[in-house]
Amino acid sequence: MSKIRLLPDHVSNQIAAGEVVERPASVAKELVENAIDARATRIVIDVESGGRRLLKVSDDGEGMVRDDALLAFERHATSKIRTAEDLNSIATLGFRGEALASIASVARVELISKTEDAAAATRVVIEGGRMRDVKDAGHPRGTTLSVRDLFFNVPARRKFLRSEATETFHLTNLVTHYALAHPEIAFTLTNSGREVLRVASAKDLRERAYQIFGPEFLDNLLEVSGGHKHVAVVSGYVSAPRDRRTSRDAQYLFVNGRFVRDQLIGRALSEGYRSVLPHGVYPAALLFIQTPLEEVDVNVHPAKTEVRFRRVAAVADAVREAVRSALASAGYMLPEVTGSSTALADQREADDLVAVLAAAASDYSPLGTPSSAANSAAAVGEQRAPIEPARQSRIEFASPPIQEDEFLAEGRRGPDRVALKSDTARDLDAINRRPLSAERNSVESASQFVETASKAESLILESASAADGNTKAISLPPLASADKFAREVTVEELSSNIRPLGQLDESFIIATDDEGLLLIDQHVAHERILFDKYRALESSRLAESQNLLIPETFDLTPAQAAAFDYVAPELESYGFELMRLSGRTVAIKATPADLPANEARNMLAEILETVDAEKKGSAREAIRDDIAASLACHAAIKVNMPLALEKMRWLIDRLLQTSSPTTCPHGRPVILRLATRDILKGFHRT
Ligand code: ADP
Ligand code: MG
């Protein structure tokens, strides 16, 4: 007997729904795309309970006649393509003709739609893929689609829906995306009657960005305009390097008006910032890539959030170059390192040189970035032992010669000084910055760094001599470096007998102990001290505040606003006093005692972005750690701050009293050691 059956439609639709409909935001995506394809000028999205109970999208687009309203729910029913050839140049957002069928198979759906000419609107009700009712109804030109009780007939999927806050976050993010992609369309989003986003039709992207993110965000934007029309025209905005994000959440990327999550573009964007932004820090971006329709395949993923470019490398180049020239025209980069494709090879070389130098300067740690540090620490079998209380009590501390307040006050003056020394600003930045190229994201061994560093040295010498008109390149033999001997220090190797000698680059304290030389990163050391302090004060409910003379106001993005209500109580337990004003404006009335007022906003923005939807579900404890770490980072003295010996001593003493003197709250090493015995080895004295 044969065993293969054709599945009934409602079953195959549910299977398709598995891919298309993941959560309320994915339903909203399909409905909003349909409204845009129908040339709506106004789109209103109302949700209840984060879209789990109700998700309603109304538009004033071209609407559907009765036959179409019924056909729309059939699988593979679409008005947007006719032949397979049409798949090669898709100009609409939709084309698969399966969204409505999928959605209707897993929810209770009501469609009301009217075209300009029709006498009456048509109302169609479908539940779990079964047609329940069709009749005339009243509705102005356009379409309203209500989706109730998502996954009511698929309990397994319903279980995977997250909290209302999480789903609202995703919805808000989605609507923000489409609002940015279509400034000409007015958007409104309400959640359980509360207005989350409302923007009137805007004349251009800049005005739309202003409506959504507020004036401050706009101040930090650089205009991007580049690429070639045969490959990819790149336009939009990216943030100035001072606007730093810890996630890619503020990167809105569009390909031919379609919101995509594209790693290729994300990476190319980061490459554009190579040498101006450190590793793990991301710019904000509103980037529009316009390619000839046949250059891109959008039929890659059922949810259409991925695309495939025919000429991948060319698109990546176009994005990177456009971003670099935006940075260059704003003075963040030398103009000659960007430009025409003939200069591309030179430019790459120049970039590599900058990157190598930056790496040499910033990667004083042979173990590199936090994650690679963890990897290589594991690889060489090093273990971070937890601190031993007994051992700690044996350490005696000299009484701190200076007060913390004094120390911090100095720290706060630091950035002003830095700003004055504009000449060295570039060098300073190099200390803090790490190149972002893909190769460099991988773990690199200490010896590779040594090699690249000495290669860089000879490169400089070469180019210097070339500039002198001297054709003979001077190149030093690679210096035998002690780099490979420098190691992270574990807690039990620490003695109390640490004596500061001075600073390297005004950023790292050079010290000795009985074992040899130590390098202490002053910023992360202070970060560790403050982190412990904040955590202790918070848990004993003794957080100190400083009132601001004039409250600072701060505009939240819609997504930040969604996170705000959740995080605000935690922030207040650290000494913030915050007040939600009308709309998405927040007033900062008081800040934690040590936090410089001018850092408060940055810190808030950072926290609201790190505490993303996923973390909202996680323990409050984790959020408190995030807040303490971020506070510590913003309040700590910066690199490139000259310190008197006394202050170095103070810092070291306090560091030794912390819970984990050798690692910073973000997991980076605080102290490196170059042991005397290795120095002896290096000089062939053993
Ligand atoms: P697709 O968008 O891929 O064509 P859908 O299942 O999303 O498939 O929609 C099926 C069809 O229903 C569309 O091709 C379009 O003709 C029609 N349609 C859906 N939503 C709307 C709307 N808001 N306004 C006008 N027509 C719509
Ligand atoms: Mg569609």
Residue 198 amino acid letter: R
pLDDT of residue 549: 77
H or E segment at 613? helix 613-616
Specify the higher pLDDT residue, 83 or 502. 502
Residue 186, pLDDT above cutoff 70: yes
pLDDT of residue 112: 97
Residue 277 amino acid letter: L
End-to-end CA distance of the chain: 84
How far apart (Å, rounded) are the C-alpha atoms in residues 56 and 35? 12
Pairing of strands 308-309, 296-297: antiparallel
> Is the beta carbon of 77 within 6 A of some atom in ligand 1?
yes
State mean pLDDT over 292-307.
79
Specify the higher pLDDT residue, 140 or 367. 140
Pairing of strands 545-555, 577-580: unpaired
Of how many residues is the chain composed?
686
Residue 465, pLDDT above cutoff 60: no
Q: How many CB atoms lie within 10 A of CB 1?
A: 2
Specify the higher pLDDT residue, 279 or 580. 580
Q: Is the distance from CB of 122 to CB of 110 less than 8 angstroms?
A: no
Tokens (6 digits) for 133: 């009712």
> Is the beta carbon of 58 within 6 A of some atom in ligand 1?
no
Ligand 2 centroid, distance to 207 Cα (angstroms): 28
Q: Is the distance from CB of 43 to CB of 187 less than 8 angstroms?
A: yes
pLDDT of residue 547: 85
By mean pLDDT, which of 245-249, 414-418, 461-465 is the weakest?
A: 414-418
For residue 98, give the ligand 1 atom closest to its CA.
6
> Is the beta carbon of 95 within 6 A of some atom in ligand 1?
yes
For residue 77, give the ligand 1 atom closest to its CA.
10
Q: What is the largest CA-CA distance in the chain?
A: 99
Instruction: Identify any residues that bridge with 55 across adjacent strands, giving them in sequence order.
Output: 47, 147
Residue 376, pLDDT above cutoff 90: no
> Is the beta carbon of 35 within 6 A of some atom in ligand 1?
yes
For residue 30, give the ligand 1 atom closest to its CA.
7
pLDDT band for 426, please (50, 70, 90 cuts): very low
> Is the beta carbon of 645 within 6 A of some atom in ligand 1?
no
Instruction: Identify any residues that bridge with 516 across adjacent strands, giving them in sequence order.
Output: 513, 675
Q: Give the closest residue to 236 by CA, choosing from 198, 284, 188, 275.
A: 284
Q: Give the closest residue to 147 by CA, choosing from 66, 231, 46, 238.
A: 46
Q: Which among 30, 32, 37, 95 is the best mutation to test ligand 1's pocket, defined by most ligand atoms within 8 Å of the CB?
A: 37
Q: What is the CA radius of gyration of the chain?
A: 29
Residue 381, pLDDT above cutoff 50: no
Residue 64, pLDDT above cutoff 60: yes
Ligand 2 centroid, distance to 296 Cα (angstroms): 19
Ligand 2 centroid, distance to 93 Cα (angstroms): 7
CA 488 from centre of chain? 29
> Is the beta carbon of 299 within 6 A of some atom in ligand 1?
no
By mean pLDDT, which of 302-306, 480-484, 569-573 is the weakest?
A: 480-484
> Is the beta carbon of 73 within 6 A of some atom in ligand 1?
no
Query: pTM for the full model?
Result: 0.57
pLDDT of residue 619: 65
Q: Express each pLDDT in 137-148 by its tens digit.
A: 999 999 999 999
> Is the beta carbon of 74 within 6 A of some atom in ligand 1?
no
Q: What is the CA angle 120-122-128, rounded to 5?
A: 170
How far apart (Å, rounded) are the C-alpha atoms in residues 450 and 466? 24
DSSP letter (8 states) at residue 581: -
Q: Which among 20, 27, 66, 78 is the best mutation to test ligand 1's pocket, defined by most ligand atoms within 8 Å of the CB?
A: 78
The segment with the largest mean pLDDT, out of 53-67, 205-219, 285-299, 343-357, is: 53-67
Residue 659, pLDDT above cutoff 70: yes
By mean pLDDT, which of 200-209, 398-407, 592-601 is the weakest?
A: 398-407
Ligand 1 centroid, distance to 34 Cα (angstroms): 5
Residue 295, pLDDT above cutoff 70: yes
Residue 384, pLDDT above cutoff 50: no
**DSSP string for residues in 382-447:** ---PPPPHHHHHH---PPPSS-HHHHHHHHHHHHHHHHH-HHHHHHHHHHH-----HHHHS---HH
The segment with the largest mean pLDDT, out of 230-234, 356-360, 463-467, 606-610, is: 230-234
pLDDT of residue 686: 74
State the ligand closest to the CA atom of 77.
1
596: CB partners within 8 A, 6+ apart: 412, 634, 635
Q: Express each pLDDT in 228-278 by its tens digit.
A: 888 899 999 999 887 777 778 788 999 988 888 778 888 899 888 876 776
Ligand 2 centroid, distance to 35 Cα (angstroms): 8
Residue 369, pLDDT above cutoff 50: no
Ligand 2 centroid, distance to 417 Cα (angstroms): 56
Closest residue to atom 17 of ligand 1, CA basis = 72
> Is the beta carbon of 97 within 6 A of some atom in ligand 1?
yes
Tokens (6 digits) for 502: 């001075």
Ligand 1 centroid, distance to 27 Cα (angstroms): 13
Q: Is the distance from CB of 461 to CB of 473 less than 8 angstroms?
A: yes
350: CB partners within 8 A, 6+ apart: 337
Q: Is the distance from CB of 143 to CB of 113 less than 8 angstroms?
A: yes
**DSSP string for residues in 91-129:** -SS--SS-HHHHHHHSSEEEEEEE-SS-SSEEEEEEETT
> Is the beta carbon of 63 within 6 A of some atom in ligand 1?
yes
Ligand 2 centroid, distance to 210 Cα (angstroms): 29
Q: Which among 20, 34, 81, 299 is the best mutation to test ligand 1's pocket, defined by most ligand atoms within 8 Å of the CB?
A: 34
> Is the beta carbon of 485 within 6 A of some atom in ligand 1?
no
Residue 534 amino acid letter: Y
> Is the beta carbon of 81 within 6 A of some atom in ligand 1?
no
Ligand 1 centroid, distance to 78 Cα (angstroms): 6
Residue 184, pLDDT above cutoff 90: yes
Closest residue to atom 21 of ligand 1, CA basis = 34
By mean pLDDT, which of 322-331, 463-472, 649-658, 659-668 is the weakest?
A: 463-472
Q: What angle do helix axes 522-539 and 645-656 make, rounded to 10 degrees?
A: 50
> Is the beta carbon of 165 within 6 A of some atom in ligand 1?
no
Tokens (6 digits) for 88: 């090669």
Q: Is the distance from CB of 246 to CB of 608 less than 8 angstroms?
A: no
Q: What is the CA angle 625-627-629, rounded to 5?
A: 70
Ligand 2 centroid, distance to 231 Cα (angstroms): 27
pLDDT band for 495, please (50, 70, 90 cuts): confident
> Is the beta carbon of 44 within 6 A of some atom in ligand 1?
no
How far apart (Å, rounded) are the C-alpha atoms in residues 572 and 589? 11
Residue 505, pLDDT above cutoff 70: yes
Q: Which among 39, 100, 258 is the best mutation to test ligand 1's pocket, defined by most ligand atoms within 8 Å of the CB?
A: 100
Q: Give the closest residue to 627 by CA, choosing from 606, 613, 647.
A: 606
Q: Per-residue b/e over 654-679, b at no fewer than 16 CB within 10 Å?
A: bbbebebbbbbbbebbbbbbbbeebe
> Is the beta carbon of 275 within 6 A of some atom in ligand 1?
no
Ligand 2 centroid, distance to 301 Cα (angstroms): 14
Neighbours of ion ligand 2 (CB under 5 A): 34, 94, 99
For residue 99, give the ligand 1 atom closest to its CA.
6
Ligand 1 centroid, distance to 6 Cα (angstroms): 26
pLDDT of residue 404: 54
The segment with the largest mean pLDDT, out of 107-121, 212-226, 651-665, is: 107-121
Closest residue to atom 12 of ligand 1, CA basis = 72
Percent of the chain with pLDDT over 90: 28
State the ligand closest to the CA atom of 97.
1
> Is the beta carbon of 302 within 6 A of some atom in ligand 1?
no
Closest residue to atom 23 of ligand 1, CA basis = 35
State mean pLDDT over 518-540.
89
Q: Is the distance from CB of 564 to CB of 580 less than 8 angstroms?
A: yes
Residue 106, pLDDT above cutoff 80: yes
Q: Is the distance from CB of 207 to CB of 183 less than 8 angstroms?
A: yes
Q: Express each pLDDT in 322-334 by its tens digit.
A: 999 998 888 777 6
Tokens (6 digits) for 539: 């848990």
Q: Give the closest residue to 139 by CA, choosing from 120, 167, 126, 116.
A: 120
Domains and CATH numbers, the chain: 9-199 (3.30.565.10), 220-329 (3.30.230.10), 340-398+419-467 (no CATH), 541-635 (3.30.1370.100)
Q: Express each pLDDT in 545-581 by its tens digit.
A: 888 878 888 888 887 887 888 888 889 999 999 988 8
pLDDT of residue 484: 59
Residue 229 amino acid letter: K
